Chain A
C-alpha cells in the first residue's frame, strides 16, 4: 500500500514537471507555446538534466505499476504513512538539490512542520527502527529506481557514488534478516516436492513460483556471503527452471559475490519490481494451506515481499497457456493493467477535394494507356466519412495542419491506392530486394519514405546515407545568396530553388559520433531522423541535407526513433530504459515514458498518432498514451529482447518480433495475445503489414522474408467475453497454416521491410560476402 502512495504524489509532481500541455496548434504558433507552467518546467529541467531524468524515470517506474489501476482513494491508507511517503519524497528531492520542487511539494502538501521534525532521522541514514526507518526504507526503494536507471551516472561521479552506495545497500539489506541459509535447499525442495505432488491442473500454475523463488533465494544466499551454499543451491535447482530463463540464469550464475550485486542493474530490477504471477484461486489456496501447515515461513515471506500474486477465479490455466504469457523479466501482466480504454481507431481523413478528372487523365495519358473511367470517389473516401467509434477525438492530440504539399501528397496517395493490388493467400506480393553492397561500415538501420521514393541507411561508421529510389536525383537547395536572385513569383519557384549542380543519386549526412541505430523519414519527406549510440537524435533536412537539430536527453545510446504518421512528433527509446516523445521544434522531450526494466529497443507510433508502442530488452511491450503519458497496455510473452514492432493499418492489431525468432500478434482493444507465428530461426528485425493488412511480412537475420496470412490469424481468434475478461487465451498452433511463403536471400539479412502504396514488398539489407 505504501508503495502505491508514492506514485500518486509523484504524479502531481510529474504533472507539474513534465507534462507540458501538448501544443495546441503545433504547425502555427510555436512562439506561443511557452506558456507559464511550461517556463517553470523548462527552467527546472534544464538545470540538472540528469536529475530530471532520474525523477522522471522514477515517476514512470511507479506509474507503470499503478497508472492503470483504479484511481486511489485518499482515505485508503492511514494518514501517517502517507505523510511519511511524502517526507521520503522530499528528502529525495532535497538530496538531488531540486529546491524548487521541494518548495512546491511542501506548499502543496502542507508538510512544513512534520517534515522538519523528521528530516534528521532520515538524513541520518540509519537502517533501523521506528518511524524514521520506515521512511528511510521507503526512500531507498524510491531512489533505487533512479540508481538503477543508468541515467544518474552522468552526474559528477563523486556525487553519484555518494548517494548510490547507501541506497543500494539499503535495498539489498532486505535480504539480510532472513533465516538460516543452510535450510534453503530444504525449503525449496520441500516446496518442489509439494508442487510436484499436487494435481496436474494446479501443478502448472504453481510451477510458476519456481523461478522467482529460485532467484530470490539465490540472491539472498549470495548477499549474505554464503558463496558455496549459493553455488550448491544453483547447481541443484537451476536445471528445473524453464528453458526461456536460460539467459537470466547465465547472468545469475556468474554472480557469486556480494560486491557483484551492487553494480548489476538487472538484479536490482528484479529486486525492486515485484514479480507478477497469475494463479487461480484454487491453486493459491492450495499453496497457502501447504505453507501454513508446514510453517514454511521462509518461502511465505518471499512470496509476500517480492512476488505479486494476481489471483483470479476460475479454471486453472494449462501449461501452454502459462508458457505463452511468461518469459519476461518481471513476470506476467497484472490483469487490471490492460483494462484501460484504448482508442485504437483511425482518425477521420481530412476532406480533400480530389481533382480526379483532369489530373488522372493526364497521368494516364503520360503513360500512354487508355483512359479509365473515373468516379474514384472510392472506398477510401467513403470510409473516412464516418467516425470510427473506437477512434480518438480528432483533436485529442493536437496535430499539425495540412499544408498544400501534404494535400497534394494525399491526392497522390489516393490515386496510387486505387491501383493497389489486393493481396491474399492466393495473391502474394512481389518482392524487391534492395541490397546494400560494400557496406563495410555495417548497415544498422534502413527506412523508406511512405511513397518509396527515398531510402535512408544508418551505418555503424556514424554516417547516414540517403538514396533516391527513383531516377530522380537528389538535389540541395541553393545557397542563400543565390536564392536572392530567384524570381519568387514564378510558377516553378520550387524547381528554381534547387541547385542542379548538386544532383546525385545519394547524399551522405555526417554528424553523429557513433553507430546510427535508427532512421525514420518524416511523412512529408522533408526531414529525416536518426538516432545514434552517441546519445542524440538528429533531425536532418532533406532540402539542404544538413543537420537541423540534435536532440539531447537520452545520454545513452538511442536504439530507435520513429516519426509520427502525421509528422511533427517523434518518439525515441534507448539504453536509459525510457522512451521520449519529442516535437521537432522543442529541444526538450514532451513526454517521458518510463517503466521498462531494461533498454527500450524499438519504438513505433500508432497510426492515429495518439499512442506509442515500445519494445524492450526486458521482453515486454508497452503501449503508451501520448496524451497523458500513461502506460495503457503491457504485453508479456516474448522470450527474448524485442527488436521489431508493427501496427496493422487499421490500428487494431500489433505484431512484435524478437530475438527468439517468433512473431506475436496482439489485439490492442482487448489487450490480448492472439497469435504466435513460429518459423524464423533468428532475430526478427523487420515487420510490416501490407497496405490493407491482409499480409504480414517478417524479415529476419536468417536471410529470409516470410509472409503470413494475418487476416486468417485475426479471424481465427475467438474473442468471447470469457477470454477477453480473463486474458487466458488458447493459442492455436497454426504457424504452418498461416505461413504463406518463405523467401530466401542469398546472403543478406533482412533489416527492413516496406510495402509500397501499390503493395509491392520492398526488403532491404546489407549483402554479406562471407
Chain B
C-alpha cells in the first residue's frame, strides 16, 4: 500500500504482536507474527467501522469507548473494560524498555471513602425553552449568554445579587461603598459572576450617564480584586466593557461640562490593573488590547476623546506599550493633532480644547517612556537586570536608542518636554507647575484670542486638566531622570506681554529642533512676535504662522536662528 494508505490506518507492527505473545508466554515466528499483525489491523478497522454507526445514531461527533464496546459485543467479541473514564488516559513511554503503558494509579479506597469532600450529584437533566428567533429575524438573546443557566441559583444568591446590584446602581453612596466592599471580599459569589459580568456589559446602554458608568467600573474593580473569584474567560468580557469606557465617544462626552476625562483615566488604570493581575487567564489579551488601542489611535475619524482614551490606555499599560504603539505612531498622529490645534476658528474651540487634552496625555506618556527607558538602561548598564520594570517578555522589536528617541520627541514637543525633565526636586516641582501653568495660560490666551465667548468654559476645563496633568507630572518626575542632574536649575523664562486693547496680536512659541550630533547643548527659543492685525489676514494664514507647540516642519527650523534662542547646555 502506498504511504498515503499506510498513514490512513493505524498499524500494529509485528514487533508489538511478538511482544504481546511473549508476555503471555508464546513464541511466535516472524511469519506468524506478520500474519497476525495484518489480521489484527484488519479486525481493528472493522470494529472501528462498526462502532462508528453507534456514534452516528447517538448523534455525536466523538467516538466513545462505549461505541467500540457495543460493536465488539454485537460481533461476539469480548468487550474491553476499564476505559470508560471521561478523561483521556495518558499513554506513557518508558524509555529504557521501549515500553508504552497506560498510567493506572492506585486509589486508596479507605481515603476515598473517608474523604470529607463528597462530590455533588449531577444536576437534573432538564429542558429549557428559549425563543431563539422571532419571525425568522434576529436573535433575541444569544442562546447561552448566561451559561450558569445550567446551575440553578439558590434563593439566597438571587437575593444577594438583587441587593448588590440595587445598592451599587442606586443613589445612596454609602450603600454603594458597603456593597462594593462586600463584592471585594465575599467568597461565595462565584456562581453569580456571570450575572455580574452581564450587568457590567450593560455599559453600552448607559453611555449617557457618567455616574452609572463610574459605578459599573467600580463594580469591575471590586470583582477583579476579589481573591476568591476565578474570572476565567470572563476577563475578556470585563476588559471589553472597560475598553468601551476608555475608547468609545460616550454619549456623555457630547456635553463638555461632563468630565468624561476622569472616567477614561480611571478606566485606563483599571484596565492596567486587570491586565497585570488577570492577564494570564486569557492568552493573547495583551496583544488584543494593544491592537484595539492602536486601531483607535490610527483612525483619524474618531473623535479626540477616543484618541485621548487610547493614549491614557497605553500609558496605563506601561512604558513598553507606549514605546511600541504610541511612539512609532506619533509622527503620523502629530500632523492631525497639529491641524486641530492650529485651527483657531470659533467653531473649533471645543475640539481644540480636546486636542490639548490629547496633547497633554501624550506628553505625559512620552515623558514616562523616556524616564523609564533611561532607568532601565542604567539598570541594565549596572548589571542589575532584575530591577527592570516588568515589561512584557514576549515583545520583540528593535528598540530605538534612547538619545534618538529623545531627539525625535524633542522635535515634536520642544521645550515642553525639556521642561519636564528639569523638574527633579520637590522645589523644582513647584517650578514645573509654574511652567505648566504658563503653558496653559497660553492656551487660555489663545482661546481668548480666537473666541472670547468660549473663554470661561475653556478656561475651566483647561484649569482642571492642567492641574490633573501637573499633578501627574509631578509624581512621575519625582524619579531621577537622566537629564535632571544638570538642567534642573535652568528654566526657560516665558514672558508675557500684557494683553492689549484692540485686537490682540502676539504669539508665543515654545519650539525645539533636532540637534546635530556634535552639538553639546540644546537650544530652545521662546519667541514673541507681534502678528499683523487680524483684519488684514484671513484666519487660515494667521494660524499658519502660529505653529505653536513645535513641529518638525520647516518654519520651526527657520526660527531656530531667531534672536531669542537660548543656549542650554546639557
Contact = CB atoms under 8 A, between A and B. Distances in A.
A654 interface: no
A517 B57 contact: yes
Contacts of B127: 434-437, 455, 457, 467, 506, 764
A152 B74 CA distance: 13
Contacts of B408: none
Contact of A438 (B39, B74, B122): B122
B392 to A, nearest CB: 31
B479 interface: no
B76 A153 contact: yes
- Chain A CB within 10 A, most for which of B129, B132, B135: B132
A437 B129 CA distance: 10
B537 interface: no
Nearest to B134: A430
Contacts of A683: 56, 59
B46 interface: yes
A589 interface: no
Contacts of B139: 743-744
Interface string A642-667: 01000000000000000100000000
Nearest to A750: B59
Given A443-B59, A557-B74, A746 B144 contact: yes
Interface string B32-69: 00000011011001100100011011111100001000
A559 to B, nearest CB: 6
Bin the interface of chain B by size: 35 or more
Contacts of A467: 127
Interface string A133-174: 000000000000000000001000100000000000000000
A701 interface: yes
Given A557-B74, A748-B143, A437 B132 contact: no
Contacts of B41: 254
A235 B1 contact: yes
A440 B42 CA distance: 33
A749 B61 CA distance: 10
Contacts of A740: 136
Interface stretch (B2-10, B241-249, B269-277, B516-524): B2-10
A436 B123 CA distance: 12
Interface stretch (A255-263, A349-357, A605-613): A255-263
Interface string A326-368: 0000000000000000000000000000000000000000000
A707 B136 contact: yes
Given A431-B132, A436-B125, A515-B58, A253 B5 contact: yes
A740 B136 CA distance: 9
B39 A257 contact: yes
A648 B17 CA distance: 56
A641 interface: yes
B132 A433 contact: yes
B125 A438 contact: yes
Contacts of B132: 431-433, 743, 745, 763
Contacts of B150: 437-438, 767, 769
A428 interface: yes
A457 B129 CA distance: 14
B429 to A, nearest CB: 56
Given A253-B1, A254-B46, A260-B42, A556 B58 contact: no
B215 interface: no
B301 interface: no
A735 interface: no
Contacts of B124: 438
A751 B135 contact: no
B533 interface: no
Contact of B128 (A264, A437, A444, A701): A437
A747 B144 contact: yes
Interface in A646-696: 659, 682-683, 685
Contacts of B125: 436-441, 457, 459, 465
A12 to B, nearest CB: 34
B488 to A, nearest CB: 61
A599 interface: yes
Contacts of B135: 427-430
B482 interface: no
A488 B149 CA distance: 45
Bin the interface of chain A by size: 35 or more
A701 B60 CA distance: 8
A231 interface: yes
Interface in A696-750: 701, 707, 740-741, 743-749
Contacts of B95: none
A323 B76 CA distance: 38
Interface string A410-430: 000000000000000001111
Contacts of A259: 39
Interface string A172-183: 000000000000
A226 to B, nearest CB: 15
A295 interface: no
Interface in A431-473: 431-444, 455, 457, 459-460, 465, 467, 469
A257 B41 CA distance: 12
A255 B42 contact: yes
Given A429-B136, A556-B74, A435 B58 contact: no
B129 A433 contact: yes
Nearest to A153: B76
A674 B180 CA distance: 65
A116 B130 CA distance: 72
Contact of A559 (B5, B46, B57, B144): B57
A440 B1 CA distance: 42
A767 B145 CA distance: 13
Nearest to A444: B58
Contacts of A557: 54, 57, 74
A601 B57 contact: yes
A250 B8 contact: yes
Contacts of B133: 430-431, 741, 743
A745 B143 CA distance: 6
A676 to B, nearest CB: 22
B57 A428 contact: no
Nearest to B152: A437
A746 B143 contact: yes
A422 B70 CA distance: 46
A761 to B, nearest CB: 9
Interface in B147-171: 147, 149-150
Nearest to B45: A254
Given A465-B125, A746-B142, A254 B58 contact: no
B137 interface: yes
A701 B55 CA distance: 12
Interface in A460-517: 460, 465, 467, 469, 506, 514-515, 517
Contacts of B8: 250, 253
B254 interface: no
A228 to B, nearest CB: 10
A15 interface: no
A250 B7 CA distance: 12
Given A255-B42, A740-B136, A741-B136, A444 B57 contact: yes
B123 A438 contact: yes
B541 interface: no
B128 A685 contact: no
A118 B44 CA distance: 44
7 contacts: A260-B39, A260-B42, A264-B46, A429-B135, A432-B132, A440-B122, A748-B143
10 cross-chain pairs, A with B, having the tightest CB-CB distances, nearest first:
A428-B136, A746-B144, A431-B133, A746-B143, A433-B132, A254-B45, A438-B123, A431-B132, A430-B134, A433-B130
Given A438-B124, A440-B122, 13 more contacts: A254-B9, A428-B137, A430-B135, A433-B129, A434-B127, A436-B126, A443-B59, A517-B58, A557-B57, A643-B56, A744-B139, A746-B142, A764-B127
Interface of B: 1-2, 5, 8-9, 38-39, 41-42, 45-46, 49, 53-54, 56-61, 66, 70, 74, 76, 122-137, 139, 142-144, 147, 149-150
